[in-house]
Amino acid sequence: MSILDNTSTTLRIATAGSVDDGKSTLIGRLLHDTKTVFEDQLAAVAKASRRYGDGETNLALLTDGLRAEREQGITIDVAHRYFATPRRSFIVADTPGHAQYTRNMVTGASTSDVAIVLVDARHGVLDQTRRHSLIASMIGVQAIVLAVNKMDLVEWSEARFHEITAEVRAFVGALAHPVPVTAIPISALLGDNVVEASSNTPWFDGATLLDFLEEFEIHPHVEVGARLHVQRVIRPQGGEHADFRGQAGVVSGGWFRKGDAVTVLPSGLTSTIRALYRWGDEVPEAGPGQAIVVQLDTNVDVARGDALVADAPVAPVVGDDVVVDICWMVERALTPGSRWWFKHGTRSGHATVTSIEHVLDPTTLGQHDTSELLLNDLGRVRLLLSEPIVADPYHVLPETGRLILIDPADHSTAAAGMLHRVGTPA
Amino acid sequence: MSTTMEHAQLSAHLDALTDEAITIIREVATECENPVLLFSGGKDSAVLLHLALLAFAPARLPFPVMHVDTGHNFAEVIDYRDQLVQDWNVRLVVASVQESIDKGRVVEDTGPRASRNRLQSVTLLDALAEHGFDAAFGGGRRDEDKARAKERILSFRDRQGRWDPRQQRPEPWDILNPRIRKGEHLRAFPLSNWTELDIWRYIERHAVPLPDIYLSHTRTVVQRDGMLLAVGGPVVLEPGETAFDAVVRYRTVGDASCTGAVKSTAADVHDVLAEVAAARITERGATRADDTFSESAMEDRKREGYF
């Protein structure tokens, strides 16, 4: 998913779910019970808990770090936390549940391998549970952990747990891109089945949350062949490397090797890799996630925004007519004919909305016609780009299948977009 | 788990963090017109500068580094800074808090506990404006503080240099939005996802030079507010305080008036790694008096334009 790729065993996790379902408390519990909270942090949280009248030490304050969050007892923006057990390193994004902060949830979920969707056992599946599960599946997380929380408040009811689990499985199973769901009955507040197995759920024989996360195997993406969007041309222009010219960027989709033939897109010019460099040293090959410099055999025209592509089983598509699934993240509405800026890989330009294909109802998953997309809407739009991009459908290769839209009026990031189709106008 | 496997896992994790940081540095340096790298002489900025050199090799660093000099530095840190910019052939800009005081831009606190730490924000913002820097790389890490844990990798600052934690731009995936208007600027944090331990592993792997004060030495200190502060320079003994010699090292390097030492016999990077891995107190909690004054000290400073 992220540029922390699957060759690393680091697991990136995001929380998801509705307000007050216990996301921050769960992350606090996970950090606390894995002994990754430092003494001064715990003392500060205990002091703040007394100050805000939370009674016992409120573990949610470990991630709710902004003054406005602590005063209101809510999460406004995503917090990133890091912890490691003897088995694995983790990067955790604790995201907000409020609908108005959905854009921050998207930020946290976008780089995650696994989403932990929390549900309050008393309230069951809510609209935000569905919206967040839908976003997680659109973004392409590899697994959803359904954490049915506050089980202590429903007398550890096995029936209630299965009822909620069945409802979530049915919903996720009906998504365009279903994601495997693993359900765990927990109490984030008391710690049951988070790190330690609970004696309150004798009917549950699955793994605890931490066991699941430690053992989860990140599936490598299918090798479609190496691509690299050129970030910058490295030209020392003097000294002992005066004649050096190389293209810097990040590899995705496969491996480049010294001597490989490459094609420059969109131009179609071809060359051969003379040398590859990573961190200043020459390397024989370079693969997904690696930040490299490519030196070509011939002096072909390659600039920022162009792509270098190895001969590959699946060629990327070059096009300026794209259909994109988007999360709309600003107040200003997206309407047909409206103009935005886009950034895809290292290419930027103008994007004009040709049409809105549909807006998704996150509750029923129905696709409806609409004349505009509003803040927090999920929908599919067709865009005409001012520059062709070298891309893949998102579910073929996420790294080259995603873009953002920027509002030219105030420069805010307006949309996260996942390419459904790339083409050229007829 | 065998230690070999654990080592391979840690190594892969550091590889990925390194690639991520280099990618961010290249992207911001290419998208922005006039970037600068903020360099304090501390371990995080040393790692950041080392990564920046790797990012553009074999070309030279395409932007200068800037030190915001409080005038209350450890002498070893200034010597180290001057040696490093010479050895690594980078251009240094110094922004002086003393000059900001002399020009009346800021008013210095007085008294034995006065610190220039907070004054740095004004000096920093003035220097960014004076040189027309539109992006400043910083060595801030999300694991340092609960407010930093909330910040984006590419973080927007308005015309007054303010951070608004409630109005941050979404930052999906690794696609950075560098668009700003004149007078606004960006802060870029390539080390966002690094921990203190990751920093030391990188220092060990690449033999990054650091000021000597990061390793164990004997120093005359005073115990104040639960910290060991070096006596001399800005720190003057108050009535009832006694100076004594202790075997210490610094876990962070900042303004000498508010940066504490920790008792340590760690004589090399290997010892430091073992010490950091076993630590039960965060680095800022152990060494930064200014962060323990109030619950939201870092958030308040950051809103004003701090690093």
- A376-409 pLDDT, tens per residue? 999 999 999 999 999 999 999 999 999 999 999 9
B205 assigned to some structural domain: no
Chain A residue closest to B300 (CA)? Answer: A67
Residues B15 and B131 in one domain: yes
Nearest to B156 by CA among B131, B127, B189: B189
B104 with B225, same domain? no
Residue B204 lies in a domain: no
Q: Give the range among A216-220, A292-296, A379-383 with minimum mean pLDDT.
A: A216-220
Is B10 close to A107, i.e. CB distance below 8 A?
A: no
Checking if the pLDDT of A7 tops 50, the result is no
Tell me which amino acid residue B167 is: Q
At residue B15, what are phi and psi to the nearest 5 degrees?
Answer: -55, -50
Q: With CB atoms and an 8 Å threshold, state whether B1 touches A86.
A: yes
Name which of B16, B22, B170 is nearest A8 (Cβ-Cβ).
B16
Residue B124 lies in a domain: yes
User: Cα Rg for chain A, rounded, in angstroms?
Assistant: 23
* Residue in A with minimal Cα distance to B286: A40
pTM summary value: 0.95
Chain A residue numbers touching B281 (CB-CB < 8 A): 38-40
Smallest Cβ–Cβ distance between B193 and the set A80, A232, A304 belongs to: A80
- Chain B hits for A406, CB-CB cut-off 8 Å, are 177, 179
Burial environment of residue A368 by CB neighbours within 10 A (0 to 12, 13 to 18, 19 or more):
exposed
Number of domains chain B contains: 2
Is the fold of A11-215 the same as that of A227-310? no
Through-space distance between the first and last CA atoms of chain A, rounded to whole angstroms: 32
**Residue B49 resides in a domain:** yes
The backbone torsions φ and ψ at residue A383, rounded to the nearest 5 degrees and listed phi first, read -120, 145
Which tokens belong to B241? 């305080």
Q: How confident is the model at residue A261 (pLDDT cuts 50, 70, 90)?
A: very high
Q: Give A115-134 pLDDT, tens digit per residue.
A: 999 999 999 999 999 999 99
Residue B175, domain CATH: 3.40.50.620
Q: B166 and B242: one domain?
A: no
Please tell me if residue B60 touches chain A, with a CB cutoff of 8 Å. Answer: yes
Structure tokens at B274: 């073992």
B102 shares its domain with B220: no
Please give the residue range of the domain that contains residue B230: 210-292
If you average pLDDT over residues B161-188, what whole number do you get? 95
Q: Judge: A82–B143 Cβ closer than 8 Å, yes or no.
A: yes
Across the range B171-180, mean pLDDT stands at 97
- Judge: A38–B142 Cβ closer than 8 Å, yes or no: no
- Domain co-membership, B118 together with B192: yes
Decide which of A60 and A384 is more confident.
Answer: A384
Q: What is this model's ipTM?
A: 0.95
- Enumerate residues 226 to 245 of chain A having a beta carbon within 8 A of any beta carbon in chain B: 231-232, 234-237, 240-241, 244
Mean pLDDT of B37-64: 97
**Is residue B211 within 8 Å of residue B76, measured between CB atoms?**
yes
On the question of pLDDT at A6 being above 50, the answer is no
A70: tokens are 């602590």
Say if B261 falls within a structural domain: yes
User: From the CA of B214, how many Å to the nearest CA of chain A?
Assistant: 21
Q: How many CB atoms lie within 10 A of CB B111?
A: 7
Which of residues 332 through 391 in chain A touch B, CB cutoff 8 A?
341, 343-344, 346
pLDDT at position B45 is 96
Please state, in angstroms and rounded to a whole number, the distance separating the CA atoms of residues B271 and B262. Answer: 14
Phi-psi region of B25 (alpha: psi -120 to 50; beta: other; left: phi over 0): alpha
User: Architecture of A11-215 per CATH?
Assistant: 3-Layer(aba) Sandwich (3.40)
- 3-state class of A371 per DSSP? coil
Residue among B9, B10, B16 whose CB faces A5 most closely: B16
pLDDT in tens, A154-169: 999 999 999 999 999 9
Tokens for B295, please give them: 């619950």
Say how far apart CA A295 and CA A270 lie, in whole Å. 13
**3-state SS, one letter per residue, for chain B:** CCHHHHHHHHHHHHHHHHHHHHHHHHHHHHHCCCEEEECCCCHHHHHHHHHHHHHHCCCCCCCCEEEEECCCCCHHHHHHHHHHHHHCCCCEEEEEHHHHHHCCCCCCCCCCCCCCCCCHHHHHHHHHHHHCCCEEECCCCHHHCCCHHHCCCEEEECCCCCCCCCCCCCCCCCCCCCCCCCCCEEEECCCCCCCHHHHHHHHHHHCCCCCHHHCCEEEEEEEECCEEEECECCECCCCCCCCEEEEEEECCCCCCCCECEEECCCCCHHHHHHHHHHCCCCHHHHHEHHHHCCCCHHHHHHHCCCC
Q: B19 with B149, same domain?
A: yes
Shortest Cα distance, chain B CAs vs residue A49, angstroms? 11
If asked whether residues B256 and B138 sit together in one domain, one would say no
Rounded Cα–Cα distance for residues B244 and B228 (Å): 10
Q: What is the pLDDT of residue B292?
A: 65
B56 contacts on A by Cβ (under 8 Å): 234, 248
Q: In terms of DSSP H, where are the helices of A248-390?
A: none
Q: B131 and B46: one domain?
A: yes
Q: What topology is assigned to A227-310 in CATH?
A: Elongation Factor Tu (Ef-tu); domain 3 (2.40.30)
Shortest Cα distance from B303 to chain A (angstroms)? 11
Per-residue pLDDT tens for A362-374?
989 999 999 999 9
User: Residues 108..147 of B with a Cβ closer than 8 Å to A: which?
Assistant: 142-143, 145-147
pLDDT tens digits, one per residue of A166-180? 999 999 999 988 899
- CB-based burial, B237-271: b 16+ in 10 Å, e otherwise: eeeeeeeeebebbbbbbbbbbbbbbbebebeebee
Please tell me the distance from the alpha carbon of residue A344 to that of residue A43, in angstroms, as a whole number: 45
In chain A, where the domains are located: 11-215, 227-310, 317-423
pLDDT tens figures, B87-107:
999 999 999 888 888 888 888
pLDDT at residue number A347 = 98
Averaged pLDDT, B140-168: 93
Q: A317-423, what's its fold?
A: Elongation Factor Tu (Ef-tu); domain 3 (2.40.30)
Whether B192 and B224 share a structural domain:
no
Residue B2 has pLDDT above 60, yes or no: no
SS3 assignment, position A272 = strand
Contact A104 B170 (CB under 8 A): yes
**Which three-class secondary structure state does DSSP give residue A17?**
strand
Residue B43 sits in the same domain as residue B192: yes
